[in-house]
Amino acid sequence: MELRPELEDKLKSLRMEAYLYQDNNGGILAFRGPTWTVNPKTPLESYRQEFITNEHGAMKDFAAQPQTALASFFPDPELLDRKAYPARPFQPIDPTTLVIHPDFKPCVGFNYFFGADLSVRGDATGIALVYYDWINNKIVMPMNIRIVSPNRERIDYKPIIQLIYNLKDRGFNIKKVAFDQFQSNSTILELCNHGFPAEQLNYATTFVGNTQLQELICTDRFEYYADQEEFIGEAKHLIIVNSRRIDHMSYGPWKNRKDNWDATVNASVCAIDDYYKNGSLAQSNRTAFNVIERMVTETEKPKEIDYDKIDFMKDYF
């Protein structure tokens, strides 16, 4: 593996930073700067592997750039690669045409939730489809794609609406559609007129919404796939701005991008809320019914006689 070109340029451009502390006589007490600048005997090349294996940690420890390391939303960004399920043999939905793959079919018995982070002019739109697998107690994300306008114009929402209709026709039980707040009123109205529960939701702007998805990933309760590269890349580059805001980094391959992450947060929170409001009760009712049915069946079943346990000689004594 090699360093990203933009990171290579950034590291080589770093110089000794301003002195941090001075005594009353102007003497230097402390200063900050990249290790290879402070100590020329250890060139940048000697730290190359550190930046390849743990970029964020190396930025803090060797490049004296803690603002990009300490504020990382995932302290260990590579965890996102380790937690991902293997790539699938096909893409469920073509990100260019939005055509559904013939083998992409719903899991019967689960409610699906569609999240979209709609774009402004020149931006991309991220869409995600998830369901709550109450049997294994986890969220599953079979689809997560990024839609980019070829001319960097505002993306036409009609194909996205049609995709929702097509998924419904395919048998996906879409319980709710969640859009962010940007110009989604007309889209929501059209979906509602066609019988889809659609709402303006933006859990991705809340610290709780983001940390909820983070916790699911870290505790192996969120199933996503290695081929969902946009989602994984954006998640790796999220930073903590303050106690109320999670944002994207301003450099790197995912610069100013978290559309897919936001769409996933909105869809996942909807799935969890729905389960604990409605699904858990339905599951309890189904479990109780199964127990009662088994008890009735056992009661009605005729008892079998085990002749091997009968003492035929007891009547003679």
- 174-210: per-residue pLDDT in tens? 998 887 765 556 666 666 666 666 666 677 778 888 8
66: confidence class by pLDDT, cuts 50, 70, 90:
low
pLDDT at 285 over 70: no
Decide which of 217 and 117 is more confident: 217
Q: What is the pLDDT of residue 94?
A: 93
Pairing mode, if any, of strands 112-117 and 174-179?
parallel
The segment(s) of the chain belonging to CATH 3.30.420.280 are 79-276
> How far is the first Cα of the chain from the last one, in angstroms, to the nearest whole number?
89
- The class (CATH top level) of 79-276 is alpha beta
Share of the chain above pLDDT 90, in %: 30
Q: So what's the pLDDT on residue 69?
A: 42
Contacts of 177 (CB under 8 A, 6+ apart): 113, 114, 115, 116, 164, 188, 191, 196, 197, 198, 199
On average, the pLDDT of the chain sits at 77
- Model confidence at 246, in pLDDT bands (50, 70, 90)? confident
Q: What is the C-alpha separation between 80 and 63, in angstroms, rounded?
A: 24
Reported as a pLDDT band with limits 50, 70 and 90, residue 143 is very high
Q: Are 245 and 163 in contact (CB under 8 A)?
A: no
76 pLDDT above the threshold of 60:
yes
Average pLDDT score over residue span 234-259: 74
For residues 277-285, give the mean pLDDT.
58
Query: String of b and e for 68-90 (b: at least 16 CB within 10 Å)?
Result: bbebbbbeebeebeebbeeeeee
46: Cβ contacts below 8 Å, ≥ 6 apart: 36
The token duo for 191 is 């979906």
Tokens 């580059």 found at: 237
Q: How many residues are present in the chain? A: 317
**How confident is the model over 104-133, as pLDDT tens digits?**
999 988 999 999 887 665 567 899 999 999
Residue 184's Cβ-count burial label (10 Å; 0-12, 13-18, 19+) is buried
